[in-house]
Amino acid sequence: MRLSQMLFVTLREDPAEAEIPSHKLLLRAGYIRRIGSGVYAYLPLMWRVLKKVTQIVREEMDATGAQECLLPQIQPAELWQESGRWDTYKAEGILFNLKDRQGRELGLGPTHEEVITAVARDMIRSYRQLPLHLYQVQTKFRDEIRPRFGLMRGREFIMKDGYSFHSDVESLKETYGQMYQAYTNILRRSGLTFRAVEADSGAIGGSGSHEFMVLADAGEDEVLYTEDGKYAANVEKAIALPPEAVASAFTTGEVKDTPNANTIEALCQQLGCDATTIVKNVLYQATFDNGQLVLVLVSIRGDQAVNEVKLVNELSKVAADYKAKTVLTVAIADTETQSQWAASPLPVGYLGPDLADSLIQAKPNVAPKFLRLADQTVVELKNFVTGANTPHQHLVGANWGSSLTLAKAVDVRKATAGDRAAHDPTQLLKTARGIEIGHIFQLGTKYSAALGATFATEQGEESPLVMGCYGVGVSRLAQAAVEQSHDKDGIIWPVAIAPYHAIVVIPNLKEATQVEAAEQIYQDLNAAGIETLLDDRDERPGVKFKDSELIGIPYRVVTGRSLAQGKVEVVKRADKTAVEIPITELVATLKAWIAEAVQ
């Protein structure tokens, strides 16, 4: 393609709307344009990148025997009502939804478990048809609360999503393992530095899941890992051993005045104790999908923090106790929200595990008792310090027993850098930022059971299909590549997903030999399968060089002074090294470089 005939517009200044480098660069280099909040046009250069990523994804998926299809974006509400997700996704606001001219409710697909399960229910009858894996590459929709970072968190984005069906969990695990490998291949072939981590299954559901994180400072996720390479997890999911608790100095149980000691730090200072000797009691307000409000009192060791994702998972397990299906929101009960349900002001900062249920007003939508949970970190504590349920007073030397009942023990602790690894306590967890690019799930029968998608087993019994699901963010991957690979002058595309391999720059259009040589090279390279741009614009050489660096084409060929020696200058974008190469050897050299880079 000739730049003179392309929609080629670059900006010198950083656009005000962009915060992170990749977003700024994609806008400046003319890859994307914002059309609305979280909604972008992919311009021709970007579309080439997205097609290349898609092609890599397809090749890796097809190699596993998965079959490509395309499912509708408009989804009838009925299917989501069958799975129970319609109300929760609507209430959370994530699901774009509308009514058609007949007044029927429709959603714009953020994901396709319901649709594919309905297809499977219709078409899969027998174990003989299993296993089966269908995938698609498609634009998805999510009405994000805060769309940002360009394609990173958009409201319209391209994903590959795949769904596998199995007769048993062993078969699911086999496909899951293949997908783990396929995703590893996709990210490796795309030229990205990444880490596969254990992950929470979240709103999708299921038993096991891994995320594929592209490492970059702007990543929205935190990854905890050990340097031996044996453990890596999203902080939402991570487990680890907390530091050992210090032995408590208090040997007698008593109430102590602790004026204004309503933080762990102040309390430690006043009592001269270690934070590991304290049982902290954190009060949460949970709202379930049926509108039920439940007050959750979490006891956790003073030096630790609650992982709210783990907390939501624990609450989901007891949803049925409150005649609900799922948890909509969980938040710390603050002064303002307490006024909705508290019978009298709470002794915040001085709460004890035995906070009286009588503090809760009798109201139809409020559970009358606290749901009490004890994190594993407090189970073994002796002679601990904890709130006395009276302002400015704490218990010291307290122990679990008849007056302080140990609640149901759970793991809701937030693992953190510096914790000891569970698999080897000599390894300490390290932290890194990651961009979630892929997520694979062992779904199990959550959707098939809900939608009645069964098959006849070899024994002739009807059994729900065992499912897995697997997603890769195609448009997000493309931007993550830029986030991971750029410098002050612009993008440095990995060769495998660069929009073009090479750009031929004519420094001076008035020099006929430069133009002639460039035209010939441009044709020869393209004919040899090296995707090549020709900068034939009537611009100064400096502008052309700057633009080629900004848009990040891996190899720049300059038909300049060395033409007299039958040579051209070739500059590698990644490290800006320049070499002079005889024109006769150019095709072979570039082919070899490209082959090496994309292997």
List of residues contacting its own copies (CB under 8 A): 1, 5-7, 9, 30, 33, 35-37, 39-44, 46-47, 50, 65, 67-76, 79, 93, 96-98, 100-102, 104, 106, 108, 115, 118-119, 122-124, 129, 132, 134, 136, 139, 141, 143, 145, 155-156
User: Tokens 């914790």 label which residue?
Assistant: 419
Cα separation, 565 vs 92, whole angstroms: 67
Q: Kind of pairing, strands 67-68 and 132-141?
A: parallel
Closest CA to 140 of 476, 436, 451: 476
Helix (H) or strand (E) holding 22: helix 21-28
Whether the Cβ atoms of residue 545 and residue 505 lie closer than 8 Å to each other: yes
* Least distance CB 16 / its own copies (angstroms): 14
* Least distance CB 15 / its own copies (angstroms): 11
Closer Cβ to its own copies, 123 or 592, answer by number: 123
Contacts for 542 with CB less than 8 Å, ≥ 6 apart:
none
Closer Cβ to its own copies, 118 or 421, answer by number: 118
Closest CA to 87 of 72, 77, 101: 77
Closer Cβ to its own copies, 68 or 314, answer by number: 68
* Least distance CB 214 / its own copies (angstroms): 22
Phi-psi domain of 444 (left: phi exceeds 0; alpha: psi -120 through 50; beta: other): left
Cβ atoms < 10 Å from Cβ of 436: 21
Cα separation, 565 vs 431, whole angstroms: 53
Closer Cβ to its own copies, 66 or 432, answer by number: 66
Q: Which long-range contacts (CB under 8 A, 24 or more apart) does 382-385 make?
A: 382/247, 382/248, 383/248, 383/250, 383/251, 383/253, 383/277, 384/248, 384/277, 384/278, 384/279, 385/248, 385/250, 385/267, 385/271, 385/273, 385/277, 385/278, 385/279, 385/302
Closer Cβ to its own copies, 69 or 579, answer by number: 69
Torsion of CA 188, 191, 193, 198, to 10 degrees: -40
Phi/psi of residue 409, nearest 5 degrees: -85, 130
Closer Cβ to its own copies, 388 or 465, answer by number: 465
Closer Cβ to its own copies, 36 or 272, answer by number: 36
* Least distance CB 41 / its own copies (angstroms): 5
* Least distance CB 555 / its own copies (angstroms): 22
Cα separation, 160 vs 111, whole angstroms: 10
Q: Kind of pairing, strands 278-288 and 221-225?
A: unpaired
Sign of CA dihedral 318, 321, 324, 327: negative
* Least distance CB 244 / its own copies (angstroms): 46
Closer Cβ to its own copies, 104 or 363, answer by number: 104
* Least distance CB 253 / its own copies (angstroms): 51
* Least distance CB 224 / its own copies (angstroms): 32
* Least distance CB 102 / its own copies (angstroms): 8
Closer Cβ to its own copies, 20 or 134, answer by number: 134
* Least distance CB 73 / its own copies (angstroms): 6
* Least distance CB 516 / its own copies (angstroms): 22
Three-state DSSP string of 191-251: CCCEEEEECCCHHHCCCCEEEEEEECCCCCEEEEECCCCCCEEECCCCCCECCCCCCCCCC
Closer Cβ to its own copies, 127 or 370, answer by number: 127
Closest CA to 22 of 455, 477, 401: 477
Cα separation, 570 vs 470, whole angstroms: 41
Closer Cβ to its own copies, 96 or 183, answer by number: 96
Three-state DSSP string of 546-569: HHHHHHCCCEEEECCHHHHHCEEE
* Least distance CB 510 / its own copies (angstroms): 17
Closer Cβ to its own copies, 233 or 534, answer by number: 534
